[in-house]
Structure 1
Amino acid sequence: MTDGRTLPRFQPRRQLGRTGFTATVLGIGDLADRSVPLEKCVATLHRAMDAGLNVLDTAPGYEDGYSEEIVGEALRHGRRQGMFVIDKVDFLDQPVTPQVEQSLRRLRLGEVDLFVFHNLSKLETWERLAAPGGGMEELERCVREGKARFRGISSHHPDVLRAALESGRCDVVMFPVGPFVHPRYVDEILPLAKAKGVGTVCFKTFGAGKLLGDTEGYGRPLQARPRGKVSSGGAETGAPALPHLGVEECVRYTLTLDPDVALLGMSFANEQDAALAAAAAFQPLSPEQLADVRQRAQRAMEGKGAVWWNP
């Protein structure tokens, strides 16, 4: 451990769809912050790996390649074995192979376990990629050439996810599951993926941070904060706190819905501590408790900007 703390230890628990890989319940995401030196980011990532987490997510667009550099450095010196590495194709209107090869160079890896089309959230885009000669054929060729082992999509739209799952061309799909997501993700897409043997790696447990704090997402400040009370002298006494949820109830909510992997932000030690403790102490929520968290999540999202992951 990098800080001497004893973290919970996680064991692989379930095969990730038809990949044959046995994944831990939590995955490591949101790794890049250019204000933090590379060696510190790598140490933080190693900390999560030391806790046993074995699914690792990155993308070229996360801090303009910095996330991939962090992941590549963290996996050196014998630490690649046993990790399931997910990377992404960011530009859906450009050739796939050069993007895959550029990512592999930044990672300094010969292959990754899974490449997905990133934020594939329009049905017409999926239809173009899935057409003969389209990007999915190119990604499948990358798989045959040993640049990746599996293929899939990451999406913010249930229609796209349903079409992709029905096509039989995805080994893993990534999509939102958490206290504030459209019910189709949970009621339709999650069971359909499981029925078809497709792995599920799910995000938005914390609603891009909106559920935990006063942010428009990923730490961006709110454009308009509610005004505070005005004292008798005319001075504002501070803006009132907006409703929030806690880390533990958000994690409990997502894990109760039981995706193969819940992908959580793990950029800093305090984030790891809270998320890992919540998962280690997990007890399923009752239907009544799930409904209560959903209701409070709706209040906690009000006034915090667009919810881009819901149709």
Structure 2
Amino acid sequence: MADTSLPRFPPRRGLGRTGFTATAVGIGDVADRTVPRAELVATLARALDAGLNVIDTAPGYEDGLSEEVVGEALRGRREGVFVIDKVDVLDAPVAPQVEASLARLGLPSVDLFALHAVRSLEQWEAVARPGGALEQLEACVAKGRARFKGISCHHPDALVAAVRSGRCDVVMFPLGPFVDARYVEEVLPLARERGVGVVSFKTFGAGKLLGDTEGYGRPLQARPRGKVSSGGEARDTPVLPHLTVAECVHYTLTLDPDVMLMGMGFANEQDAALHAAAAFRPLDAAGLRTVRERAREAIQGKGEVWWNPPSPEAVAG
């Protein structure tokens, strides 16, 4: 019986020039080796049941477990789902990595392979040179291992060069309350102008905006806490500022990527994220500014912000 506790998400618009009509929300990494595989598969299937039709994975997500879970969840329901996988090692032969990923997925092909975590303009230039990773990936596409190609990237300059090259069908990059302004002001409009699909991530700032973490559940090395008295007994409570799920989701959807990826490995995470997305109303300029200001406060003291190039003026606002 279908789970009726989640809102339904119909396909919204084309993903760049791919011809695929995507939902506004996509399914991010769901791998967690502390959770039984059957539970991970069921949680992913629950998101698919809600209509989400874009799913992202990579070999490095829990050492291949994510790909295996995605493949299992898609058995019997592959049609109508846009599957994104990654090439993690950019200075190693691409074809063996592609074949290994497809084997873990149990699929003959995916919709998109992206070169993963391109971190600088220099790295983009290296992968784009003759014989480099991008040319090797293009050969894999020509052999039918994927329909499209692109990059996942943590540097606006590299993204601008990638979009202008005409060699990427989709670009994946950070969009959310705490990102470098150039992602929003330069990369996003350029991709739209050139018909390149945009898939965003870092809606929650790797979890930093929602909780006291250095990212993806890693505890803070120095965790500020305050004392709260309850029933005559003192107890510790976090004192760092946080944003809400709805603030992060509504901010990112207001920026309007083709697809906003969110990690939703547990049912309660899905409930919060998808109900927030279903209740979306665009924020006005003042609302965007307020969320950015609160995000700037919430991320302080929580470690490296690796998705933003180091710059004193890096963050939008």
Query: Does TM, normalized by the shorter one, top 0.5?
Result: yes
* Amino acid in structure 1 at the alignment position of 2:47: A
**Aligned partner of 1:287: which letter?**
A
Unmatched tracts of structure 2, length 5 or more: 310-317
Q: Map residues 81-230 of structure 1 onto 2, 5 A cutoff.
A: 81-229=79-227
Q: How many Å apart are 1:236 and its aligned residue?
A: 7.6
| Distance in 1 of aligned mates of 2:123 and 2:92 | 12
Query: Does the 8 Å contact 2:172/2:201 carry over to 1?
Result: yes
Distance 1:230 1:148, change over 3 A: closer
In the alignment, is residue 292 of structure 1 matched against residue 253 of structure 2?
no
Tell me if 1:259 matches 2:219: no
Provide the secondary structure at the position in 1 that maps to 2:206: helix
CA separation of 1:247/1:134 partners in 2, compared to 1, >3 Å: closer, same or farther?
A: same
Question: Match of 1:304?
Answer: 302
Measured after TM superposition, the shift of residue 228 of structure 1 is 3.1
Matched, 1:49 2:48: yes
Structure 1 gap ranges (5+) = none
Matched, 1:250 2:248: yes
Q: Secondary structure at the match of 2:191?
A: helix
Structure 1 residue 293: deviation in Å?
Answer: 0.3
Look up the match of 1:69: 68
Residue aligning to 1:19: 18
1:229 is displaced (CA, Å) by 4.8
Amino acid at match of 1:261: V
> Residue 33 of structure 1 aligns to which amino acid in structure 2?
D
Letter in 1 for 2:80: G
Q: How far apart, in 2, do the equivalents of 1:49 and 1:254 lie?
A: 21
The whole-number CA distance in structure 2 between the counterparts of 1:19 and 1:229 is 54
Count of residues in correspondence between the two structures: 306
Is contact 2:212–2:238 with CA below 8 Å preserved after alignment?
no
Moved more, 117-126 or 8-17: 117-126
Q: Deviations 1:254-299 (Å, cap 9, x if unpaired)?
A: 0000000000011000110011101111100010000000000000
Pair 1:42–1:230, CA change in 2 (3 A):
closer
Q: Are 1:26 and 1:262, in contact at CA under 8 Å, matched by a contact in 2?
A: yes
The alignment-based identity, stated in percent, is 71
User: Is the contact between residue 176 and residue 203 of structure 2 (CA under 8 Å) also seen in structure 1?
Assistant: yes
Deviation at 1:128, TM superposition (A): 1.5
Letter in 1 for 2:26: G
Which deviations, in whole Å up to 9, do the C-alpha atoms of 1:140-189 show, x marking residues without a partner? 01001000000000001001101101110000000000000011000110
Cα RMSD after superposing both structures: 1.5
Partner of 2:118, secondary structure, is: coil
What TM-score, normalized by structure 1, do the two folds share?
A: 0.96
Deviations 1:61-95, CA, capped at 9 Å, x for gaps = 0000000000000111x210000000000001100
Q: Which has the higher strand share?
A: 2
Determine the C-alpha separation between the residues in 2 that align with 1:236 and 1:48: 41
Query: In 2, distance between residues paired with 1:230 and 1:33?
Result: 33
Separation (CA, whole Å) in 2 of partners of 1:237 and 1:103: 47
* Structure 1 consecutive aligned stretches of length 4 or more whose deviation exceeds 4 Å: none
Distance in 2 (CA, whole Å) between partners of 1:67 and 1:82 is 20
SS of 2:131's equivalent? coil
Question: Does the Cα contact within 8 Å between 1:228 and 1:236 map onto a contact in 2?
Answer: no
Contact 2:228 2:237 in 1 (8 A): no
Alpha-carbon offset, residue 21 of structure 1:
0.2
